[in-house]
């Protein structure tokens, strides 16, 4: 592959395709620091990465890692940004000038004296970019810069990246965020199993929806719609789609057909499985994270919990399995007051899927890892055998059962943690940002699993920023400043876009398109959009 000077290249691909390895190869960390076998050559600004030490290549290639925690090791933002130039032995005035400039570009001047460890996820990512930028590299390599950011932080990040692009910086950006690529990239490269499988301008690459989906790669929502409706040429932006649809340039029925609309089976008449009664919680020396939360979740309900970062979503969720207990008010789980039960005991009822698989994987084999939960529940051997077997089969892990889970790929480790929850057969399933760091295929696998448990009678609580996931739920809870400020059916929530904005949540691009076309119900998903469009056009076989 080649990257031109001043070009913006987006690199996409499923989890484990070799995207991060590609980033590390660009500044020589692969193979100099990682070892392994390496064949062929990488030339960066005329330097062979095998012949020049990483620390020297760092002045040409600024690599920003995905993990902020391990690349911010100074005590203040300013020290962090000056660290690189100091290592280059530049004069003090030059260092200060560069730090000042980099802080300004990333909008961090106000935060210069703060400790990077205290900043929000989005701010930390920006500090990491500034720290690399201060070395004035000609090439900027960004590994998943928007992953895990809330919608506002994501937009701020994209605007900064756009600015750098316009200043003529060469950028290589690895991402799963297809909607982020459309406005920025000159060229998209898709990797699978370490090989380039697709390459070209976004318009062209995102036209191959079927192929990308088969690979597990996401496409921009508008591109998916355009494919479904057979719009030619394929469009990428809301504007293009608006033009095409205004010309009535689409076909029916949509490619791939339409799935049945899921029916809501929540039984409001049964006693709530989780209820909060005026619950208050404050972290030691911290903010009031819950300020009088009141809500009830019925068995077999599917609830999305949304809200900006710091609004108390995770705190609320941790009250649902007794990891936290209210300091005032009370929380009942399956009829038990959480103050009288330990989290370990409540685990019988409530399964919690955490974001980071490495915060729990410890057993010597995958089998043992999955058996840990059922064992804690005190089940007999036969039952444990049965449950582990079924959990392994559900996630296609049977052939890996005897391997140490810590050595599996990131995607597989995530699946192991899901299987571990599956084996406990919870009545309530809590998913904390399940799509972060996962490709499309794995995200679909997680949500389908949740839907299956839901269909089998479990209540599901989905914490997410991603409205494309949130629409899976039938009920929407909006958290603001430690309170549930809105509790409505999902359809109703989506019909009021101004609420999305107030909640710091970005409506999917398709909502904007639906509004511009004057569709009666605002359609949150591609499927709903197709239905709404067809209904308006008077197609008969919509239902």
**Shorter beta-carbon distance to other proteins: residue 20 or 265:** 20
Span interacting with other proteins, options 190-198, 222-230, 237-245, 356-364, rule CB under 8 A: 356-364
**Shorter beta-carbon distance to other proteins: residue 7 or 79:** 79
Instruction: State yes or no: residue 79 binds other proteins (CB under 8 A).
Output: yes
82: tokens are 């000056």
Q: Torsion angle, CA of 353/357/359/362, rounded to 10 degrees?
A: 110
Instruction: State yes or no: residue 334 binds other proteins (CB under 8 A).
Output: no
Span interacting with other proteins, options 69-77, 212-220, 303-311, 533-541, rule CB under 8 A: 69-77
Instruction: Bin 504: left if φ > 0, else alpha if -120 < ψ < 50, else beta.
Output: left
Integer Cα distance of 425 and 452 in angstroms: 12
Instruction: State yes or no: residue 36 binds other proteins (CB under 8 A).
Output: no
Span interacting with other proteins, options 21-29, 198-206, 242-250, 383-391, rule CB under 8 A: 21-29
Integer Cα distance of 122 and 145 in angstroms: 9
Of 74, 203, 480, 495, the one binding other proteins by CB under 8 A: 74
Q: Residues 409-428 vs other proteins: string with x where CB under 8 A?
A: -----------xx--x----
Instruction: State yes or no: residue 21 binds other proteins (CB under 8 A).
Output: no
For residue 372, give every residue at least 6 positions away whose Cβ sits within 8 Å of its Cβ, in sequence order, or none: 362, 363, 420
For residue 318, give every residue at least 6 positions away whose Cβ sits within 8 Å of its Cβ, in sequence order, or none: 324
Name the pairing type of β-strands 47-48 and 288-297: unpaired
**Shorter beta-carbon distance to other proteins: residue 15 or 27:** 27
Instruction: State yes or no: residue 336 binds other proteins (CB under 8 A).
Output: no
Q: How many residues bind other proteins (CB under 8 A)?
A: 73
For residue 60, give every residue at least 6 positions away whose Cβ sits within 8 Å of its Cβ, in sequence order, or none: 27, 44, 45, 47, 137, 138, 139
Instruction: State yes or no: residue 365 binds other proteins (CB under 8 A).
Output: no
Instruction: State yes or no: residue 120 binds other proteins (CB under 8 A).
Output: no
Instruction: State yes or no: residue 398 binds other proteins (CB under 8 A).
Output: no
Instruction: State yes or no: residue 542 binds other proteins (CB under 8 A).
Output: no
227: tokens are 């494919």
Span interacting with other proteins, options 76-84, 176-184, 294-302, 325-333, rule CB under 8 A: 76-84
Instruction: Bin 304: left if φ > 0, else alpha if -120 < ψ < 50, else beta.
Output: beta
Span interacting with other proteins, options 248-256, 352-360, 456-464, 508-516, rule CB under 8 A: 352-360
Please work out, in degrees rounded to the nearest 5, the angle formed at the alpha carbon of residue 305 by the alpha carbons of 302 and 311: 170
Cα-Cα end-to-end distance for the chain = 47
For residue 430, give every residue at least 6 positions away whose Cβ sits within 8 Å of its Cβ, in sequence order, or none: 317, 320, 321, 350, 351, 352, 353, 461, 463
Which residues, numbered 230-289, are part of the site for other proteins (CB under 8 A)?
Answer: 283-285
Span interacting with other proteins, options 7-15, 207-215, 274-282, 358-366, rule CB under 8 A: 358-366
CB of 379 to other proteins, least distance (A): 10
Instruction: State yes or no: residue 383 binds other proteins (CB under 8 A).
Output: no
Of 11, 42, 63, 164, the one binding other proteins by CB under 8 A: 63
CB 480 within 8 A of CB 493: no
Span interacting with other proteins, options 233-241, 340-348, 386-394, 480-488, rule CB under 8 A: 340-348
Which residues, numbered 469-528, are part of the site for other proteins (CB under 8 A)?
Answer: none
Which residues, numbered 81-100, are part of the site for other proteins (CB under 8 A)?
Answer: 82-92, 95-96
Integer Cα distance of 281 and 283 in angstroms: 7
Integer Cα distance of 154 and 219 in angstroms: 17
Please work out, in degrees rounded to the nearest 5, the angle formed at the alpha carbon of residue 443 by the alpha carbons of 438 and 449: 135
**Shorter beta-carbon distance to other proteins: residue 83 or 336:** 83
Instruction: Give Cα separations from 192 to 43, 211, 212 (angstroms).
Output: 22, 12, 10
Q: Residues 278-317 vs other proteins: string with x where CB under 8 A?
A: -----xxx--------------------------------
* Three-state DSSP class for residue 278: strand
Of 106, 190, 295, 347, the one binding other proteins by CB under 8 A: 347
The strand pairing partners of 460, in sequence order, are 302, 429
**In the Cβ-directed half-sphere of 364, how many Cα atoms lie within 13 Å?**
0
Sign of the C-alpha dihedral, residues 396, 398, 404, 407? negative
Of 73, 159, 278, 398, the one binding other proteins by CB under 8 A: 73
CB of 292 to other proteins, least distance (A): 23
Instruction: State yes or no: residue 54 binds other proteins (CB under 8 A).
Output: yes
Of 362, 409, 448, 492, the one binding other proteins by CB under 8 A: 362
Provide the 10 A C-beta neighbour count for residue 5.
Answer: 10
Instruction: State yes or no: residue 71 binds other proteins (CB under 8 A).
Output: yes
CB of 442 to other proteins, least distance (A): 19
**Shorter beta-carbon distance to other proteins: residue 99 or 505:** 99
For residue 217, give every residue at least 6 positions away whose Cβ sits within 8 Å of its Cβ, in sequence order, or none: 12, 13, 14, 176, 178, 190, 439, 440
Of 53, 104, 201, 396, the one binding other proteins by CB under 8 A: 53
């Amino acid at each position: 592959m080649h990257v031109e000077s001043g070009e913006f290249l987006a690199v996409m691909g499923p989890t484990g395709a070799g995207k991060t390895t590609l980033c590390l190869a660009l500044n020589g960390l692969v193979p100099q620091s990682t070892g392994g076998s390496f064949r062929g050559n990488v030339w960066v600004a005329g330097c062979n990465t095998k012949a020049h030490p990483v620390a020297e290549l760092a002045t040409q290639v600024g690599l920003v890692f995905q993990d902020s925690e391990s690349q911010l090791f100074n005590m203040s933002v300013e020290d962090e940004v000056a660290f690189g130039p100091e290592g280059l032995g530049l004069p003090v005035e030059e260092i200060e000038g560069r730090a000042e400039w980099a802080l300004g570009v990333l909008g961090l001047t106000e935060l210069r004296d703060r400790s990077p460890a205290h900043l929000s996820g989005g701010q930390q990512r920006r500090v990491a970019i500034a720290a690399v930028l201060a070395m004035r590299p000609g090439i900027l390599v960004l590994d998943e810069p928007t992953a895990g950011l809330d919608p506002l932080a994501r937009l701020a990040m994209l605007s900064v990246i756009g600015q750098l692009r316009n200043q003529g910086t060469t950028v290589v950006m690895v991402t799963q965020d297809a909607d982020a690529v459309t406005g920025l990239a000159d060229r998209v490269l898709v990797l699978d199993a370490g090989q380039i499988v697709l390459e070209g301008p976004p318009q062209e690459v995102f036209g191959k929806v079927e192929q990308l989906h088969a690979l597990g790669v996401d496409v921009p929502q508008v591109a998916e719609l355009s494919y479904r409706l057979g719009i030619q040429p394929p469009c990428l932006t809301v504007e293009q789609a608006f033009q095409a649809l205004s010309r009535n340039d689409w076909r029916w029925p949509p490619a791939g057909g339409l799935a049945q609309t899921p029916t809501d089976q929540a039984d409001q008449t049964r006693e709530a499985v989780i209820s909060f009664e005026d619950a208050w919680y404050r972290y030691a020396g911290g903010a009031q994270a819950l300020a009088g939360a009141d809500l009830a979740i019925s068995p077999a309900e599917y609830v999305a919990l949304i809200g900006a970062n710091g609004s108390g979503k995770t705190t609320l969720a941790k009250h649902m399995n007794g990891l936290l207990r209210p300091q005032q008010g009370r929380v009942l789980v399956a009829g038990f007051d959480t103050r009288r039960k330990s989290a370990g005991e409540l685990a019988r009822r409530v399964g919690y899927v955490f974001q980071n698989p490495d915060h729990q994987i410890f057993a010597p084999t995958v089998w043992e890892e999955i058996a840990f939960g059922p064992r804690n529940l005190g089940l007999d051997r036969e039952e444990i055998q049965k449950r582990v077997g079924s959990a392994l089969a559900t996630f296609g892990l049977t052939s890996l059962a005897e391997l140490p889970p810590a050595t599996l790929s990131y995607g597989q480790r995530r699946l192991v943690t899901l299987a571990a929850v599956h084996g406990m057969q919870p009545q309530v399933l809590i998913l904390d940002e399940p799509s972060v760091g996962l490709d499309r295929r794995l995200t679909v696998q997680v949500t389908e699993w949740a839907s299956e448990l839901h269909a089998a009678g479990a209540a599901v609580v989905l914490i997410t920023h991603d409205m494309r996931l949130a629409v899976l739920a039938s009920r929407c809870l909006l958290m603001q400043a430690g309170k549930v400020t809105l509790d409505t059916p999902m359809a109703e929530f989506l019909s009021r876009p101004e609420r999305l904005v107030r909640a710091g949540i970005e409506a999917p691009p398709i909502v904007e398109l639906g509004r511009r076309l004057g569709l009666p119900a605002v359609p949150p998903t591609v499927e709903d959009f197709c239905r709404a469009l067809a209904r308006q056009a008077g197609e008969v076989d919509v239902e």
